[in-house]
Structure formats: structure tokens, C-alpha cells
Chain A
């Protein structure tokens, strides 16, 4: 019996698409339908609320602080790991991944143990009137911890695959370190870097568990956008909660679009390199 079973692909495709539809498309549609349930007016009213505005402001502050620090770290770590050989590289790679393995709630708890009122530095901070927990610095640090690996993880394999030949050639031609990085390395990694930043950005804006532990939920002061969504939802203000959620959902969709663009660009560049005989 020659097994030509034409119905198998159809059944399998239908099952896979039903799964993806149920778990991805339906929730995606639900966010926007719930947000616009009462029309356009109430949707936009959500963003006029002063608490919503302060949540957006705090989230921007957190992201604009945490992401640049993680960006500098990502670039430095990728340069050291991809361009040089040294002992303990495997260990360093494992340590960079650690925050991925830690539950967001535990991540938040770490900073409470360090800076909380009963934490190690708590009494000293209290004496000097510095607030970290239940204030912006704690939220920023917890976010930095949770989003720590993203940019480094994106750049390391990319830079490793590119090797060091181009940089060494530039070196022989008399370029300085900064010049090599700006003129050679940066153009080579720009797409991966862009995706790393966007992903880190999206995760920093959306972080919930870790921020929830350190924030204290002081409305208008220490609530980020996700925490504001939680408050609105628990107050049965579903239109408000989903309107704020729709903002973050658009950001997630943008992240996916950039990812697809980056994959497409790198494939094209690789193909061009193969055709050009460089490989």
C-alpha cells in the first residue's frame, strides 16, 4: 500500500491553526473588542485620567533608565565574549541567563531583602531618608534585573558568528578601538541590536510580577502601566483596563513586526554575502 493520505496535511494544519487561533488570535481580538465595547469616547477617556498619565510617565522613566543600562551592558558583554577567548566564558554566559530562570516575584523579593524597611540596607536608608522600595528606584532596579539578559542574549550569538576578521583588518589599517566599533561592528550588528532593544523595551514596559512586589501600589505615584491595568480591572473598570492593555498590545505587535523585519533583513544580507562570494 502506497500511503498517499491527502487528508493528513489538511487535518494537521486545521488542528494547529485551531490551537493558534484559540490561544493567540482570540485573546488578541478580545483585547481590542473589550477596549472599544463602549465606543471611542470612553476608550480615549481612559488616557485623560491623571492616574493613567502618571502611570505612563513612571513607565517611561523606568524604561528610559533600565534599557540604556542594559544596552551598555549588552554591548560590553557581547564584545568581551564574542571577540576574545578567556577562561570562565561558559560560566559568564550561564550567569547572564540567570534572571531568565528566576520567577519575577522572587526577583522583586531580592530587592525588598536588600533595600526594604527590614532589609540589609533598610535602617541605613531610613536614616538618610532615601526611598528605594515603594518608590521609583526599586521599580527601576527590579526591571533591570528582569530584562538584564535580553540585549546581551541577542548580540552574543550574532557577534560570535561574525568573527573578528573585519575588526582586525581595521586595526591593521590603523583604526582606534572606538572607530572600529562605530564603523565596523555597529553596522554589522545593527538589526540584531534593534530587535534586542525593542524586545528589552517591551519587556521592561510590561513587567508585572517583580514590579508588583517592590512598588507598593501607591496610586498616582508608584503604579506603572501594568499595575494601573490591574487596579482598573479589580475596580471592574473593564473598558479602562482593556484600553490601557490595548496600548501595550500594540507595542507587542510592533515588537513582532520588528522581529520579522530583522529576520528578513539578516536573511537577505546573508544571501547577498553568499552571492558576493564573501562566504
Chain B
């Protein structure tokens, strides 16, 4: 059917032109403002602003907490997807719908709620305190907030793949004498790996940029619990535009690398699913 001309429908020029114009006005011109501002800075000045100890500490904190949150989500997201696809229990559909709550709930609401729960006087904070664990106003609190905002990603990428695998593979492995653990590790896990890594990367990318839910629970102490997006705001409030631009440019670069990685992984995911279908 390749010869079929698709372009007999009207409106191509108008809709594409409008889309391109709107994209330029709202997205590309503003983004280029940041890129050009960063490039126009003196290279040594840009480098100094990007690598000052406080900025490096914020990058390190953002990176490690995001990584930890994405790892927690990889484990529990996989578990959640598995349970939602494989087992039947009352309230399953409700839980399935609730998984998307962090997509829909404003980050500021998540922020104040988690802080209230994990503060030393809060419902959970009160239980943690005798154990010597302080969650709010420490990096652990940041990880908790980032875990919340990244929760849907792994579940939503793994869920459809798991549905496709079906029980046949497992039953075949079991009939060949594999233990459930062996079946999971050797048969199911390799099938899930591309989608699991994609979900991990999406959750990680989201956590790196997150601001609203983290800023309440983190305590915002310079060098200790100050994430990179917060430092941008601090610099802006001090009218240190160059400092803000440098941190933002670094973050933008990291986001693009992550976006590229995610695109490649999604292609890999699609390929492995297509070869499986054959």
C-alpha cells in the first residue's frame, strides 16, 4: 500500500506551518535564549560559575538523590507492575488508576504533604525518630519526594510489556524444571530489562529537574540539602544572572543527554518487542 498518496487530505501546509510557528515562539526561541546567553559568557567565567564548590555540591546531591529515587522506583515499580498484571485482588483497578496520581497532583501539594508526614512530629516521622532516622530536611527526604514524583514511570513502561509476555513462557520454563526464581531471572527479567531501564531513565530525568515537591522537604541548606534547581532560584534572587545561567545550562545539557538516551532505549525496547512478536 506504499504508493497510496497520503497527502490528498487538506490542511497540511496550514497545520504544519502553525505547529512550527507555535513551537518556535513558545519553545525554541526561549530555549535558544538560554543557550546563547551561556555561549556569550566568557568561557572561564562560565566554567568558574559551573564548578564553584556550592554548585558542584548541588549537582552531586541532585544526581545521587535522583539516582537513589529512580532505583527505588525501579524495584518497587517492577514489583507493582508485576502484581497489577499477574494477581487478582479486590481494589486492583483502583490501585492501577492511583499509580498515575503523581502525574496529576501539583508538586507543591505533594511537597507540603510529604513534609508534614515525614517531619519529626508527623505520622511517619514520629515512627522514624526513635530509630534515629530523620527524613525531613535531610537527603533522605529529598529521595522520598523524588520517589513520589517518579513513581508512575517504571510501572507504566513495564506494565504493557509484562502483559504481552503472557504466562506461556513461564509455564514452559516451569515444565522444563525451572524454579520460579530461575524462571524470573532467566526468562522474564531479560524480556523486561529494556522497559525497566527506560522507566528508570524517565524517573531519573524527572527527579533531576524536580523542584516543587523537594523544596519543602529538603530544608535547603547550602552544601548539604540544596538541589541544583533551588540554587538557580537562589542565584536569581541575588541578581546573579550569570550564576543562574551557568547552572541552568549545565542542567539543560544533562537533560538533553538523558532525552537522547531515553530515545535510544525506547527504540531498543520497540525492537526487542518486535523481534519477539516475530
Contact = CB atoms under 8 A, between A and B. Distances in A.
Contact of B23 (A12, A72, A96, A212): A96
A241 interface: yes
Chain A interface size, under 10 / 10 to 19 / 20 to 34 / 35 or more: 35 or more
Interface size class of B (residues with CB under 8 A): 35 or more
A27 B114 contact: yes
Interface in A131-171: 141, 144-145, 148, 164, 167-168, 171
B150 to A, nearest CB: 10
Given A171-B8, A171-B9, A230-B108, A106 B251 contact: yes
Contact of A104 (B9, B28, B76, B229): B229
Contact of A209 (B6, B103, B117, B229): B229
B255 A103 contact: yes
B51 interface: no
A209 B86 CA distance: 38
B40 to A, nearest CB: 11
Contacts of A30: 113, 116-117, 123
A249 B109 contact: yes
Interface string B154-185: 00000000000000000000100001100000
A120 B245 CA distance: 14
B106 interface: yes
B236 interface: yes
Interface in A7-65: 8-9, 12-13, 15-17, 19-20, 22-28, 30-31, 34
Nearest to B206: A100
Contact of B107 (A13, A19, A141, A208): A208
Given A148-B27, A177-B10, A34 B116 contact: yes
B109 A245 contact: yes
A98 B6 contact: no
B109 A101 contact: no
A111 B30 contact: yes
A97 B241 CA distance: 27
B112 interface: yes
A186 B26 CA distance: 26
A85 B16 CA distance: 11
A7 B248 CA distance: 50
Contact of A145 (B30, B95, B205): B30
Given A8-B180, A13-B87, A106-B232, A24 B101 contact: yes
A242 interface: yes
Contacts of B209: 101-106
A20 B211 contact: no
B272 interface: no
A79 B12 CA distance: 8
A257 B5 CA distance: 40
Given A206-B107, A256-B100, A260-B93, 17 more contacts: A1-B179, A3-B180, A19-B80, A24-B99, A24-B102, A26-B124, A76-B14, A76-B18, A79-B11, A84-B6, A84-B7, A113-B34, A113-B241, A118-B239, A229-B108, A245-B112, A259-B97
Which 6 A/B pairs are nearest by Cβ-Cβ distance? A206-B106, A103-B209, A208-B212, A177-B10, A209-B211, A110-B30
15 contacts: A3-B174, A3-B179, A77-B15, A80-B15, A80-B16, A84-B6, A85-B6, A98-B259, A104-B209, A105-B229, A106-B229, A113-B33, A209-B212, A226-B107, A229-B112
Interface of A: 1, 3, 5, 8-9, 12-13, 15-17, 19-20, 22-28, 30-31, 34, 69, 72-73, 75-77, 79-80, 83-86, 92, 94-99, 101-107, 109-114, 118-120, 141, 144-145, 148, 164, 167-168, 171, 176-177, 180-181, 199, 202-203, 205-209, 212-213, 226-227, 229-230, 233, 238, 241-242, 245, 248-249, 251-253, 255-257, 259-260
